[in-house]
Chain A
């Protein structure tokens, strides 16, 4: 039996009068990639933040690595990449990586090798000595992803990691994600790129605060009698 890394049960979340999450249940197992899709403003980022303990749910239960969130020490075992690139602009790429590596508690002697590895995954090795203020949008995104990958976390939570990243590099990143999955890591990823949703093991479609569809991509396509996840998305939304 596989370990359940994320187990969100009947989450509810309101911002003032607005109900963002009405009833959301999701789970990510070890060795699984779960893709979270849904229109902008559907509450994808909110669900992720609740899972990480950065927001408090109004109802329901968020279990991560079999522990109730929020829980501080647990955060060291999770690689989180937020939707916005928050980086220290005055520092170089390498300094950002070193700093966050230390914050995550990566062992001192392992840190240099770890940084070299994650920088290679996102093709950032040549730019590591450069200040982040001189980075392009895509470079910032890649550095953000590299930071999330630091410390070989058991669970990766990536909020739109491939925005602004070119197709060749995107392919490389997905290759890395699949490798991580095969090594038994769990990945929760949100995306607006439906081609990417095809590459996941399961897709959850978030709409009107509820999970409207939740299955393997191929099964969803069969269920909706369409060829692509994009069409599933559009059909579920009632556009097509």
Chain B
């Protein structure tokens, strides 16, 4: 019962603190919006392509593609010179019928991928039967290249999606390697993790600050001078910030789906459940770490130490090639499990019931951290 009164008080205090509310609810939306802006921006990149001995039909089709400008060169040497002079971004050389050599400047990975996509589209649109075989072969190469790019240059790979989708609506190749393949589309891959990260970050920070403030202003001492149980205080905070985290989760998930146009293969509800669970872990984590901080500024110091590293270890970057001890670090970070579960739900449509391990580990985190919090309050009152 006391826990509910504490929760009510915390919520009242929060509602009167408009800025913190704004931080929790508006900031994530703002960041999502900015990301949307930045990632769609790259779609308007345009490229110049020099062609040598290229089939006229293909060249015209390529030239008609948005953001692609084609110039014909008499010899391969002069085309390569133009490439070196940065007058063009790529050179397409038809060495013999249906055999192409494409040289990319590759100073800007976005452009490289645009050329690739554009050329593929041109070939497909041309619809020449004789070219079909080549196209298939080429598309395979391109998909391999795209995979390489995804590894080497995340943004470029992320940007690939847009021009392709626009430039080749009827292209057959598209479905084969681009959409729905997480290895080729970096941005789709990071969205679930970023979503979880925002939930974690904001809840962690604000809940930690709240309890810290209660301690530094002395109200915690006063509270502990009443017969309230330590567990009731922790529970009160969990309830109030849990409600807040729930609202925040709904906002973040809905804006991610709405703004970013991220397709969720699985159920929206499942995404929210995982995010909410992560929020509760963040809450318990924030409360725990706030006991180690003496001031708000010291609380901020945990961000680079505790919060940021999670994003690196949570699956945004593949850890497969790293030393095993580095991989082991990721096993103790809650975001790893949330990110893993969310990726599976969003990409593969996995059901919650098949994510027992991830959910179990998150629940375990929650349980252990909450227990530690109740114990940690012993520092302020022994009973």
Question: Which A residues are within 8 Å of any B CB, using their own CB?
Answer: 52-54, 56, 70-76, 78, 80, 82, 84-91, 95, 99-100, 102-105, 147
- Interface residues in B343-383 by Cβ distance below 8 A to A read 380-383
A86 contacts which of B9, B16, B217 (Cβ < 8 Å)? B217
Residues of A within 8 A of B227 (CB): 72-76, 103-105
A71 and B383 within 8 A (CB): yes
A126–B9 Cα distance when bound, in Å, is 22
Q: Are B2 and A91 in contact (CB under 8 A)?
A: no
Interchain CA distance A78-B222 in the complex, whole Å: 12
A82–B381 alpha-carbon span in the complex (Å): 15
A54 touches B381 (CB 8 A): yes
| B residues in contact with A56, CB < 8 Å | 382
B226 within 8 Å of A (CB atoms): yes
Cα separation A70 to B220 with both chains bound (whole Å): 17
Residue among A73, A80, A84, A86 with max Cβ neighbours from chain B (10 Å): A86
- B74 close to A (CB within 8 Å): no
Chain A: CB-nearest residue to B15: A90
A residues in contact with B217, CB < 8 Å: 86, 89
- Whether a CB of chain A sits under 8 angstroms from the CB of B81 is no
By the criterion CB–CB under 8 Å, are B9 and A70 in contact? no
Instruction: Tell me the B1-47 residues at the A interface (CB within 8 Å).
Output: 2, 5-6, 9, 12-13, 16-17
- Cβ contacts under 8 Å, B9 to chain A: 88, 91, 95, 99
Q: With an 8 A cutoff between CB atoms, is B67 at the interface?
A: no
Q: Once the chains are docked, how many angstroms separate the CA of A89 from the CA of B216? A: 13
| A-B CB pair tally, cutoff 8 Å | 72
Flag if B5 contacts A102 (CB, 8 Å): yes
* Complex CA distance for A99 and B233, rounded to whole angstroms: 13
Per the 8 Å Cβ criterion, residues 210-266 of B in contact with A are 217-229
Q: A102-B2, A103-B5 are in contact. Are A90 and B224 (CB under 8 A)?
A: no
Q: Which of B6, B12, B229, B382 contacts A53 (CB 8 A)?
A: B382
A84 touches B218 (CB 8 A): yes
A53 to B221 Cα, complex, angstroms: 11
Closest 10 CB pairs of A and B: A86-B218, A76-B227, A103-B226, A72-B383, A90-B13, A70-B382, A86-B219, A80-B225, A75-B227, A70-B383
B229 close to A72 (CB less than 8 A): yes
- Nearest chain B CB to A131's CB is how many angstroms away? 8
Chain B residues closer than 8 Å to A102, beta-carbon distance: 2, 5
Distance between A192 CB and nearest chain B CB, rounded to angstroms: 20
> Which A-chain residue is minimally distant from B233 (CB atoms)?
A103
Query: What is the minimal beta-carbon distance from A206 to any residue of chain B, in angstroms?
Result: 21
Complex CA–CA separation, A237 to B314 (angstroms): 65
| Cα separation A98 to B9 with both chains bound (whole Å) | 10
Mark each residue of chain B from 47 to 73: 1 if its CB lies under 8 Å from any CB of chain A, else 0.
000000000000000000000000000
In this complex, which of A82, A89, A99, A104 has the most chain B Cβ atoms within 10 angstroms of its Cβ? Answer: A99
Contact across chains for A99 and B225 when beta carbons are under 8 A apart: no
Q: Is the CB of A75 within 8 A of B12?
A: no
Interfacial chain A residues near B383, Cβ < 8 Å: 53, 70-72
B219/A88 in contact, CB under 8 A = yes
Q: Which residues of B contact A103 (CB under 8 A)?
A: 2, 5-6, 223, 226-228
Complex: A198 Cα to B217 Cα, angstroms: 33
Q: Bound state CA distance, A102 and B5, in angstroms?
A: 8
Chain A hits for B224, CB < 8 A: 54
- B222 in contact with A100 (CB, 8 Å): yes
A86 touches B222 (CB 8 A): yes
Task: Tell me the smallest distance from the CB of A45 to a CB of chain B, in Å.
Answer: 11
A70 interface neighbour in B12, B218, B219, B381, Cβ under 8 Å: B381
Contact A54:B225 (CB < 8 A) given known A70-B382, A86-B217, A99-B5: yes
* 27 CB < 8 A contacts A-B: A53-B382, A53-B383, A54-B225, A56-B382, A70-B382, A71-B383, A73-B227, A78-B225, A82-B218, A82-B221, A84-B218, A85-B218, A86-B219, A86-B220, A87-B219, A88-B13, A90-B13, A91-B12, A91-B13, A100-B226, A103-B2, A103-B226, A103-B228, A104-B226, A104-B227, A105-B227, A147-B222
| Distance between A28 CB and nearest chain B CB, rounded to angstroms | 17
Report Cα–Cα, A82/B380, bound state, in Å. Answer: 14
Taking a contact as CB atoms under 8 Å apart, the answer to whether B226 and A75 are in contact is yes
**Are B5 and A53 neighbours in the complex by a CB distance under 8 Å?**
no
Inter-chain contacts of A72 with B (CB < 8 A) = 227, 229, 381, 383
CA A13 to CA B229, docked complex, whole Å: 26
B302 to chain A, nearest CB (A): 24
A149 to chain B, nearest CB (A): 14
Q: Are B221 and A54 in contact (CB under 8 A)?
A: yes
